[in-house]
Amino acid sequence: MTERVESIRERIAQACGRAGRSPDEITVVAVSKTFPMQAIASGTGVGLEHFGENRARQLRDKAKARPGAVEGGDVKWHMVGHLQRNKAKFIARHADWFDALDSPRLAEELNKRAAKNDRVLPCLVQVNITGDDQKYGLAPSETHEYLDHCAQYDHLAVEGLMALGSFVDDPEDVRGEFQKMRELFDTYDASGNPQVEMTELSIGMSNDFEVAIEEGSTMIRLGTSIFGPRDYD
Ligand SMILES: *Cc1c(COP(=O)(O)O)cnc(C)c1O
């Protein structure tokens, strides 16, 4: 893993160089889904701090084994996958970030649960930038209205947007999607909305993170490029 992470850091630095950005602007979320706690220990050993899971119960179990910052620990747990409302309680309690907020009903439930835990949950709003029926997220045309709507949730702090690009062989093919995300991100006026601050744009995965960085990503979510291939999702 040391070599893989070193090579990723090098590629991040090069992409930042091309875009006139600093690598300090990029947070790596190591998507540890399906991998055991040993992988988290190896990850922190090479300086990784943010970890991502896509199943609420797995996140809960891992956060019990190694608490995130919200529970006094030294790592940050991100829920990166679609969340069913009946599992919102796990995320409101154990996750440091929820990166896939995608409906008013889910926001309401998470807000209620976060209030019970006496905390504010940092969230990203997921946008379905490809328009693919199989993908979760708000339509781009509804995103700003949804952000306005989030002003009422005192226990959610919306920190930005998240999206998955199309699954393609050539990462150049997702550049246009990432540009659209950047535009949605830049054009939202958060002044006057106390619960929203547009600071994080979470785009880019193992196959397309360099293009995402060139287009303004601040958070890249890397699974296979850090941990190796997964047997299942
Ligand atoms: C699995 C997953 C990733 C990481 O995917 P890789 O292609 O392995 O880097 C990123 N984001 C989400 C939402 C995921 O579910």
CB distance 55 to ligand 1 below 6 Å: no
Cβ 44 vs Cβ 74: under 8 Å: yes
Q: What is the best residue among 80, 162, 201, 221 to mutate for testing ligand 1's pocket, by most ligand atoms within 8 Å of CB?
A: 221
Q: 187-216, pLDDT tens digit by residue?
A: 999 999 999 999 999 999 999 999 999 999
**Is this model's pTM higher than 0.95 or not?**
yes
Give, for ligand 1, the residue of 80, 200, 203 to mutate: max count of ligand atoms closer than 8 Å to Cβ.
80
The pLDDT of residue 215: 98
- Give percent above pLDDT 70 in the chain: 99
Given pLDDT bands bounded at 50, 70 and 90, which one contains residue 133? Answer: confident
Protein residue closest via CA to atom 5 of ligand 1:
223
pLDDT of residue 135: 86
pLDDT at 132: 87
Average pLDDT over residues 147-168: 97
pLDDT category at 233 given cuts 50, 70, 90 is: low
Ligand 1, residue 207: give the atom nearest the CA.
7
Helix (H/G/I), strand (E/B), else coil: 56: helix
pLDDT given for residue 134 in this prediction: 83
d(CA 221, CA 41): 18
Question: Domains plus CATH for the chain?
Answer: 2-226 (3.20.20.10)
Distance CA(120)–CA(157), nearest Å, equals 6
